[in-house]
Homo-oligomer: A and B are copies of this chain.
Amino acid sequence: MQSICAIEGVKAAGIKEGKYGLALIEAEGTAAAAFTMNKASAAPIILMRERMKKGYLTATITNSGCANALTGKQGISDAMEMAVIAGEYLGVEPETVGVASTGVISRYLNLPLIRDQCSRISPTLTHSADAEITAARAIMTTDLTEKHALVERDGFVIGGICKGSGMIAPNMGTMLGYVYTDAEISQQDLQGALKSAVRRSFNRVVVDGDTSTNDVVFLTATGAAGKVPKDEFARALEECCTILGKQIAKDGEGATKMIEVVVRNALTEDDADLIARTIVGSPLVKTAVYGEDPNWGRIVAAAGRSGAEIDPEIVSCWIANRNIRAQVCDRGTIAADLSQAKAALSGGEVRIELDLALGKEHATAWGCDLTEKYVEINGKYTT
């Protein structure tokens, strides 16, 4: 078991037929959620913002292929119908079913197909390694890899799956995520831990700066493992979400390299966060990394336009990978070992480090390079 089915009592099932997939996950417990901040929120988001106030879930149903976004009143009624369908086949109250959709915006759902797929997969719901894989695959759209995470601690475990590849920008969620734990934890603490973890994980993943209409992360605690220390749980949850978030960055549409940006010694964490996300989202930084071009001026230029406090006269900058750490700027002075910096860009994972020398706060963000393939994928996604 590598993710959600490592938690006792979690059952999953999934199906993917061409562009159209359906995933069911069954698990009862205290629940929390984080949603997209996009004002053009999809129908399932609008519905779940209301329904998650209860802080309790028995299951989730998710379709891929159609986002049920910008679909007005019919969209809301369709999202409610998805919960009814799941409730029927799982024998649970529709109001306790989490609903999510991902895919093309501005299309209505094909409810007969969803009902048909649900009827076929609900008998296959199991607590198994296969089941979590099938569910993770069912929710993929342009994703090339399924995404799992499992964090084990003394006395409890947290496991999650997610999807996300394009329309990825940091603003609550930025993808679909399903996280489960056997820890017993109050709804308030669960929501608090999720908010904090999302801020430092999913919200720091940028593929293209386009915040989705459909982002949501569901977190359900079954309580089977009993009470756990709140802070330890929060740290483990952040680790789980970070593992998932980095997989989204790595699987960014068209990506050939994952980029990690570490900003140190900022005045505030918000500043560090803003600079890290601006750098990792900059098309010019992303294309330079793709071209293995150590054009580090673009890194500092992106930091400069971020809106955060920065003094270019005292900034230091490194381009690194697992083996090489090349300093290109030393407290505002060009210190470019460009051949070493170029070598550091040659692998599949690149780390950019910026020391602002202003304060003591830090942040890390993740993204990927920008390639011709991203253009190709998104130039013909609906057709």
A188 to chain B, nearest CB (A): 29
Is A9 at the interface (CB under 8 A from chain B)?
no
Known A70-B300, A333-B72: A208·B293 in contact at CB below 8 Å: no
Partner of A301, one of B210, B293, B371: B210
Is A169 at the interface (CB under 8 A from chain B)?
yes
**Residue numbers in B under 8 Å from A71 (CB-CB):** 334
Complex CA distance for A370 and B72, rounded to whole angstroms = 30
The answer to whether B334 and A70 touch across the interface, beta carbons within 8 angstroms, is yes
The answer to whether A211 and B374 touch across the interface, beta carbons within 8 angstroms, is no
Known A39-B312, A41-B304, A301-B105: A284·B167 in contact at CB below 8 Å: yes
The answer to whether A105 and B379 touch across the interface, beta carbons within 8 angstroms, is no
Is A295 at the interface (CB under 8 A from chain B)?
yes
The answer to whether B287 and A379 touch across the interface, beta carbons within 8 angstroms, is yes
The answer to whether B208 and A283 touch across the interface, beta carbons within 8 angstroms, is yes
* Residue in A38, A71, A309 with the greatest tally of chain B CB atoms within 10 Å: A38
A210-251 interface with B by 8 A CB criterion: 210-213
* CB 8 Å contact bits of A322-341 with B (1 = contact, 0 = none): 00000011001110100000
The answer to whether A287 and B210 touch across the interface, beta carbons within 8 angstroms, is no
Partner of A379, one of B72, B171, B288, B333: B288
* Chain A residues within 8 Å of B, Cβ to Cβ: 37-41, 67, 69-72, 104-108, 166-167, 169, 171, 208-213, 282-284, 287-288, 290-291, 293-298, 300-305, 309-313, 328-329, 332-334, 336, 370-372, 374-383
Taking A38-B301, A106-B336, A210-B298 as known contacts, 8 extra A-B pairs with beta carbons closer than 8 A to each other, sorted by chain A number, are: A40-B310, A69-B301, A105-B297, A106-B328, A107-B297, A211-B304, A291-B379, A293-B382
